[in-house]
């Protein structure tokens, strides 16, 4: 039995949910999101919120129960509060700027990296070396942050590169004489 899956997903004020077949749609003040559940999980909307139950006593149903509940909970949290990820850029001359619908990254290459900002994502630069990626879809926010970081991940000798705000980079000692 899934401890997470047993709990219904509470719907705050101003949030509505509907189930159409295997698709759960959630609408709130920040927008609308949906997720398609696997065959082994059923969803119902009642007075307590969205309740997920496994169809049969199968191993896969037990495995997907908690995951499905968490995915629906992320939808509710996204349409009410949203998600954000902070990135830091470290290195001499490394900086970022938002130019229209593109993110311009100067990361020590011979050219600037232009990253097109996907729909539903907003990127803000408080300082030229601090980025905030935000949106209502948790998966998309994490994917965009990972793609930006992948252009120049932090290296272990000087720590230069793009890193998450709370990421610890293990430093190595340089060569000795």
pTM of the entire predicted model = 0.89
State residue 48's pLDDT score: 87
In terms of Cα–Cα distance, which of 80, 78, 72 is closest to 22?
A: 72
Q: Is residue 173 part of a domain?
A: no
| Terminal-residue alpha carbon distance, the chain | 60
pLDDT in tens, the chain (177 residues): 678 888 999 999 999 999 998 999 999 999 999 999 999 999 999 988 999 999 888 888 888 999 999 999 999 999 999 999 999 999 999 999 999 999 999 999 999 999 999 999 999 999 999 999 999 999 999 999 999 999 999 999 999 999 999 999 999 998 888
- Same domain? For 32 and 68 the reply is yes
State residue 1's pLDDT score: 62
State residue 20's pLDDT score: 92
- Same domain? For 52 and 65 the reply is yes
Q: How many domains does the chain have?
A: 2
Whichever domain contains 106, its CATH number is: 3.90.930.12
- Same domain? For 152 and 105 the reply is yes
């Amino acid at each position: 039995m899934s401890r997470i899956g047993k709990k219904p997903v509470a719907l705050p004020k101003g949030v509505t949910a509907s189930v159409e077949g295997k698709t759960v749609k959630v609408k709130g003040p920040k927008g609308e999101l949906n997720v398609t559940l696997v065959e082994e999980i059923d969803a119902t909307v009642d007075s307590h919120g969205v309740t997920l139950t496994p169809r049969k006593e199968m191993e896969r149903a037990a495995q997907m129960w908690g995951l499905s509940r968490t995915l629906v909970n992320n939808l509710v949290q996204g349409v009410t509060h949203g998600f954000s990820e902070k990135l830091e850029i470290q290195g001499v001359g490394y900086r970022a700027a938002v130019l229209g619908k593109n993110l311009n990254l100067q990361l020590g290459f011979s050219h600037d990296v232009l990253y097109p900002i996907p729909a539903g994502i907003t990127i803000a630069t408080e300082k030229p070396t601090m980025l905030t990626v935000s949106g209502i879809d948790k998966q998309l926010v994490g994917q965009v942050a990972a793609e930006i970081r992948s252009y120049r991940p932090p290296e272990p000798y000087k720590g230069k590169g793009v890193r998450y705000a709370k990421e610890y980079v293990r430093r190595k000692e340089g060569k000795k004489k």
